[in-house]
Amino acid sequence: MSADLKKILECCHHDPFSYLGVHFSQPTVDRVTIRTFQPHASRVSLLLSNDTFPMGKTAPEGIFELVLEKTQLSDPDLSPFNYQYEIEYESGVSLRINDPYRFPVLLGEMDRYLFNAGRNYKLYHHFGCHPCTVEHVSGCLFRVWAPNSMAVSVIGDFNGWDGRVHQMRSLGISGVWELFIPNIHENERYRYHIRTGSGAVLEKSDPFQFYGELRPANASITRKLDCYQWKDQHWQQQKKTSFPYTSPISIYELHPGSWRRDPNNHERFLTFRELASELIPYVKELGFTHVELMPVMEHPLDESWGYQVTGPFSITSRYGTPEDFMFFVDSCHQNNIGVILDWVPAHFPKDPHSLGRFDGTPLYEHEDERKGSHPDWGTFIYNYGRNEVSNYLIANALFWLDVYHIDGLRVDAVASMLYLDYSRQDGEWIPNQYGGRENLEAIEFIRHLNSILYDFYPDSLLIAEESTSFPGVSKPADKGGLGFGFKWDMGWMNDTLSYFSKDPLYRKFHHGQLTFSMMYAYTENFILPLSHDEVVHGKRSLLEKMPGDEWQQFANLRLLFFSQWMHPGKKLLFMGENSASDLNGTVNRALTGTWSRQTSFTVSYSIL
């Protein structure tokens, strides 16, 4: 058995193109050898122009080979690259396929260089799976970054999940692997079969998958994203002439899976199309200018808000298809409602099919646990100092603004990114190069991120959930700030809720909690959040936080909303709080509440 065949059979060939496909004799090009690996075939023939050449089985494992002299070709000038295989199986089924090992390298050197330099901002056009046509042949082009792997294969329904069949080509020091597989279409399941440097085998979902299987399954699915016909041109033109810092902004924050469900089956989530028909009239009636969706990227658990993202480029399949989400965004825009997404670059989960130890080494995360693992959430932390990882995250943020027409991103858990000692005890963190606690790599990444997003989409809303007093969060990056457009005012939220939760008899001793926020109200571009964070983990709803009997609680809650609306800053309210619903942080059921009190309270709220 040859060394090449052994590597093919063990799924560890670093350059399968050197063995499979077309090979000319050297130094004279008067003979061509064509070789294919078809482990389940009983007979293989080469179809070249009008000629058919039976191929010999040179290895019982499934290697078929043919050597042709130039004089054997009916057209001596015919390029031998344009050929097909006719494959017969023992079952009697036969089919014609194109050889994936006859196509050239398709990712240009400049794109590879920019990726490794952290400057290829629209990576989603190049990486992942793209149904396309190459040399008049339709199929899917796959690319993945796995620099420390011995070999990478594409596995799926189309090859029986056999890692030997479609082994990818390594593009050298870029760490990128590429393969165009003909005759694959949309809605095919696939994964990457990765042979690590130590010889272990990993099966990973595509880091750039545009769509994935419904949980608990986790295979990626081939998908095109350019078929939807957008009708939000008026909204897009209107955005260019608006100025968000002086325009009224009121944001309705919601979790799509628990805002409302199928009334006939409370276990079934609404699709994005169904959500559009119910949510948009509701939000318009209340007068909100934007909706903010808690993470709609793919994540494994229904019993979560969605912040454990396993597919940053994939809309979660639990609410429908990419086109369903495009319809939702488009419908919002046609009704003059902006759409903001929660975006999570601070950490990612340790699920084995996800990004963690992607090629058998710490690739997207830090190698040192003191920088690469989050103690609160049991997740990995992105390595912001690595060019390719920074590029991946920036491209991901740009992807949602570009492909899905999203109007803004609320960046989750910024404080955990800014400080190396966040939630860590002495000895559990590594100081920066100056001996400080600031994460200089994360700060540089955030500035880079915001600069690029505003370069491409200057009218977007970039919002930081930052809970410390880090200076200049909403100050432009070129002036020394982090470059966000807005920052959540967590200080106002904590002080105000503390004040309103007190019995009115004692509030006169705590008026400072109501007035202190004005001391810094104009130091940042603030959003005043009454968000999901105030009801999670049994914290109770805003209504339940108010003192007194039910009548007094409603009166206090109306006063709280009035105080929020009169205070400088944009406004944000979590779903259900406007109607006194009994959510209490539960994500596995829809909003509930006494209808009569919801009705009376919602009307009162809409007057504010």
pLDDT at residue 51 greater than cutoff 90: no
CATH number, domain 21-98: 2.60.40.10
pLDDT, tens digit (0-9, with 9 covering 90-100), for 486-528: 999 999 999 999 999 999 999 999 999 999 999 999 999 999 9
For the chain, state the CA radius of gyration. Answer: 28
pLDDT, tens digit (0-9, with 9 covering 90-100), for 125-172: 999 999 999 999 999 999 999 999 999 999 999 999 999 999 999 999
Q: In the predicted model, what is the mean pLDDT of residues 435-457? A: 97
pLDDT at residue 584 greater than cutoff 70: no
- The reply to whether CATH 2.20.25.90 applies to domain 109-221 is no
- pLDDT at residue 605, rounded to an integer: 43
pLDDT at residue 432 greater than cutoff 90: yes
Sign of the four-CA dihedral 416, 420, 421, 427: positive
pTM over 0.85: yes
Q: What are the boundaries of each domain within the chain? A: 21-98, 109-221
pLDDT at residue 71 greater than cutoff 90: no
Q: Beta-carbon neighbour count of residue 419 at 10 Å?
A: 17
Is 529 strand, coil or helix? Answer: strand
- pLDDT at residue 278, rounded to an integer: 95
pLDDT confidence bin for 24, thresholds 50/70/90: confident
pLDDT, tens digit (0-9, with 9 covering 90-100), for 179-197: 999 999 999 999 999 999 9
Q: In the predicted model, what is the mean pLDDT of residues 67-95? A: 77
Q: In the predicted model, what is the mean pLDDT of residues 226-253? A: 94
DSSP, residue by residue, 489-525: -HHHHHHHHHHHTS-GGGGGG-THHHHGGGGTTTTS-
- pLDDT at residue 222, rounded to an integer: 98
- pLDDT at residue 594, rounded to an integer: 42
pLDDT at residue 56 greater than cutoff 50: yes
DSSP, residue by residue, 78-145: S-TTSEEEEEEETTS-EEEEE-GGGSPP-S-HHHHHHHHHT--TTGGGTSEEEEEEETTEEEEEEEEE
Share of the chain above pLDDT 90, in %: 81
- pLDDT at residue 587, rounded to an integer: 59
What is the C-alpha separation between 10 and 248, in angstroms, rounded? 62
pLDDT confidence bin for 576, thresholds 50/70/90: confident
DSSP, residue by residue, 345-377: -S-B---TTSSTTTTSS-SSB-SSHHHHEETTT
To the nearest whole number, what is the mean pLDDT of the chain? 91
Q: In the predicted model, what is the mean pLDDT of residues 472-481? A: 95
Q: In the predicted model, what is the mean pLDDT of residues 577-587? A: 67
- pLDDT at residue 119, rounded to an integer: 97
Same fold, 21-98 and 109-221: yes
pLDDT at residue 121 greater than cutoff 70: yes
Q: In the predicted model, what is the mean pLDDT of residues 67-91? A: 75
Q: Tokens for 106?
A: 């398709």
Report the Cα 455 to chain-centroid distance in Å: 21
pLDDT confidence bin for 441, thresholds 50/70/90: very high
Q: In the predicted model, what is the mean pLDDT of residues 196-209? A: 96
What is the C-alpha separation between 447 and 149, in angstroms, rounded? 32
pLDDT at residue 16 greater than cutoff 80: yes
From the list 459, 471, 563, the residue with the least C-alpha distance to 236 is 459
Share of the chain above pLDDT 70, in %: 93
- pLDDT at residue 29, rounded to an integer: 66
Known active-site residue 412: yes
List Cβ neighbours of 83 (8 Å cut-off, separation of 6 or more): 34, 46, 47, 48, 99, 102
- Give the active site residue among 178, 330, 465, 495: 465
pLDDT confidence bin for 597, thresholds 50/70/90: very low
- pLDDT at residue 600, rounded to an integer: 46
What is the C-alpha separation between 325 and 498, in angstroms, rounded? 38
- Give the active site residue among 412, 441, 466, 495: 412
Range of lowest pLDDT (5-9, 147-151, 576-580, 585-589) = 585-589
- pLDDT at residue 586, rounded to an integer: 58
pLDDT at residue 77 greater than cutoff 80: no
Q: Beta-carbon neighbour count of residue 450 at 10 Å?
A: 25
Give first-to-last CA distance, the chain, whole Å. 80
Pairing label, strands 379-380, 373-374 = antiparallel
- pLDDT at residue 595, rounded to an integer: 38
- pLDDT at residue 523, rounded to an integer: 95
Report the residue count for the chain: 608
